[in-house]
Structure 1
Amino acid sequence: MSSNIDEVISTITPSLESTNDGILKILEYEMQNDLPEFINQLLLDSKMMIILSQIERTKEGKYEEADDVREKSIESTIAQRVTIERGIKPLEKKLNYQLDKMIRTYNKMLQEYEAKGNDDQQNASVNNDNDDSSEESEDELAYRPDASSLMSKASKKASSKPEEPIQEAYKPPKISAMAPPTREETKNKPSKKLQSMEEYLRENSDLPMEEKSIGVNIVNHGRGGVKTDSERRKEKELQTYEETNFVRLPSTMTKKDKYQKRKELNNTFGGEDWSMFNNSRQLSEGTSRKRKPNSVWDKVKRRK
């Protein structure tokens, strides 16, 4: 392994010396001719500097066997390698792409310019041919008959005839037959069915049916009968409307209805009406009520 390194270093050393001599010559030339200074640094220069520093580090690590120097050289070599791989190579790729793009656009512009020049030459030649052909056609039509005189004669003949109005039978315009507009409501409208017949068929049928809970469709504790399907359907529609729109519709009950309902609720217990015990009239006088005077004389007499 050491022999291989010696051979590599022996080949690199003369190249470094020649490079050093070339750099010194370039510096002398710059000092003599006063060349402008370049502020920007080229990628090639940075690349070469990193490679030279790597070679110097390996050379120092060979002759100096100290561990700290060896570690420093290894760290610097790794940092330089990362700089080349992560920094310089991506920049080279980007610059290469941009340069290729610029070259392609330049070549395309040249091709378009040449094509445009060729088109202009062709158009010029075509225009010259057209001018020559038009001159030849003018020469051929120089001895043609006068067409304007013929037109004037034809116009005189047409003006001599009186214009007669054309009378024809009126023909109405043809209109394609169309059906009259129909309302869609009639199509979607459900067919009317007899409610009594529907209830009769429902009661006598043996098919399983969905029923409400017991007591839900009873009105006024059985005194108001049972709710019909239409009433239940109406209540369902109101309920769905209130739930979807988050509103509470006002009730149709009047103050009198509310008072009567509250009074009946107070007099009801166990599903029975006990309002007979809340009556203010005396039962000892009998169950027959006294008739109030209805005549005018009785009313006047009562006022006195």
Structure 2
Amino acid sequence: MSAPDLAGWQHVYSGKVRDLYIPAPDSARPQDQVLVVASDRISAYDHILATEIPDKGRILTQLSLWWFEQLDDVENHVLSTDVPEAVAGRAMICKKLDMFPVECIARGYLTGSGLIEYRASSTVCGLELPPGLVDGSRLDRAIFTPSAKAEVGEHDENISFEAVVDVVGPDVADRLRELTLKIYTRAEEIARERGIILADTKVEFGLDPATGVITLGDEVLTPDSSRFWDAATWQPGRSQPSFDKQYVRDWLVSDEAGWDRSSDSPPPALPQEVVEKTRARYVEAYEKLTGLTFS
């Protein structure tokens, strides 16, 4: 899905999933706004796939909006959902923030890149963890494990808190850590009440130039930015099934796909079964978390 032309808005950027617009030069709309549109694109292994997942953009947007409401004591960037009809349900009009070049990640469970570092050094982002942890272990308390933002197609790089201080200064770094852990702790409680484990999550913040307030931006607590596991099947010591694009990743590395991750060739198109299962997993996450029916 290419970024659509929208009357009154000028397209300025496309990421892996989202397209960003600013008010057109002849628009009467305030220039400190940005239109954030979630597409149905899906990425895996640092590639944007040719096959899209129907309704994925709507699910991500509606779930983010629901979470912003649950986190009403954290300033966020949403101004309105009164968006052009062509992107209704998948877009938000937001404050234009000066984004910090840091991916703010909170982990309450050990898995993914954190597990890889832990196995090598018993640390995650320089934080010492106790011995004997395995894939899926719950940590005694959530930890802040930031990463440096990478360009589209590149890997984010885990960094220490001291590296964040070097980039944004000690006061901002402290506030980013505080807000990230606050968001994770609240969301983890909400998810657990609904039978879902929030293993980790990535959030992004920016400075609101009008108020000077550090503000939550981008998406929040979606299957694209978080690991959600079914609490009923959680079993430390193995990889946990997750409410995200796991079907896509698993198929891409299967013999059926015939794709070499280490090559420069793009991933193949997804079969319809994988598309349907992936969409169903996103819908299931939305419905279990919100208690609402997605239609």
Q: TM-score, normalised by structure 1?
A: 0.17
The one of the two structures with greater contact order (alpha-carbon pairs below 8 A, sep at least 6) is: 2
Q: Which has the higher helix share?
A: 1
Q: Which has the higher strand share?
A: 2
